[in-house]
Structure 1
Amino acid sequence: MKLTRHLKGKALDLVDRLVPVRPQPCSAQQRDLLERESRRMHLYYCRSCASSIAIKRHCEKLGLRVVEKDVVRVNAYRNELLNGGGEPRVPCLRVDDDQGPRWLYSPEAIRNYLNKRF
């Protein structure tokens, strides 16, 4: 099971690198909003995790340029994820808003938040 998940992640990573995502068309005003909101979001991900790649591509499709943090390559990002969110799981979306940082771990929760927000 773990090998299958790993191979699926590697295959999706290859597809992600070769096939670009086309963002949805939007107005200049919407683009400015997306730019402003993108700076408040940090996506903790792993290049070999299929869910992480799917969330990353979903953000690109919406036109968001979230700050991407690969927890496998940079140990400081993993420590940030562990100290801030409490769990070393990916994908994780940290949203900084007026109430403080919010950590979303489930791919479904992340997708639902992004779809409702944008």
Structure 2
Amino acid sequence: MPTTENLALYHYNACPFCAMTRQALKHFKLNVEQRDIQRHRPYRQQLVKGGGRAQVPCLRIEHDNGRVEWLYESRDIIDYLRDVSRAAA
């Protein structure tokens, strides 16, 4: 299973769009840290501070140059995860 230490998925369990992105993680066999914003308030604060809003799902991407990108739409997140999976293959 590829490790993706530069990624973190902000989510909460009852969100159907979050469930889709978590399912994609399993499908693509990616090990991504999952940060539940309902169970851990500091994660919600990180999301709002870094990404500008408390919308989930959100994928935090830290690029090699240190730049951080916040990807919000589930379809965009799934497409990105697909690309990561292909690159790791």
TM interval, short-chain normalised: 0.7 to 0.9
**Structure 2: distance between partners of 1:42 and 1:117:** 13
Identify which of 70, 87, 93 aligns with 2:59: 93
* Residue of structure 1 equivalent to 2:41: 75
- Report percent identity of matched pairs: 30
Q: CA deviation at 1:117?
A: 2.7
Matching of residues 2-13 of structure 1 within 5 Å: none
User: Unpaired runs of 5+ in structure 1?
Assistant: 1-30
- Give the helix-richer structure, 1 or 2: 1
Whichever of the two has the greater Rg, that structure is 1
User: Unpaired runs of 5+ in structure 2?
Assistant: none
4+ residue segments displaced more than 4 Å: none
* Residue of structure 1 equivalent to 2:72: 105
Q: Normalising by structure 2, report the TM-score.
A: 0.88
Question: What SS class does the counterpart of residue 26 from structure 2 fall into?
Answer: helix
Equivalent pairs, count: 84
Instruction: Identify which range, 54-63 or 80-89, moves more after superposition.
Output: 54-63
Q: Normalising by structure 1, report the TM-score.
A: 0.67
- Give the strand-richer structure, 1 or 2: 2
Q: CA deviation at 1:61?
A: 1.3
Q: CA deviation at 1:112?
A: 1.3
Question: What SS class does the counterpart of residue 66 from structure 1 fall into?
Answer: strand
**Structure 1: distance between partners of 2:70 and 2:5:** 15
Backbone CA RMSD of aligned residues: 1.1
**Structure 2: distance between partners of 1:101 and 1:113:** 15
* Residue of structure 2 equivalent to 1:61: 27
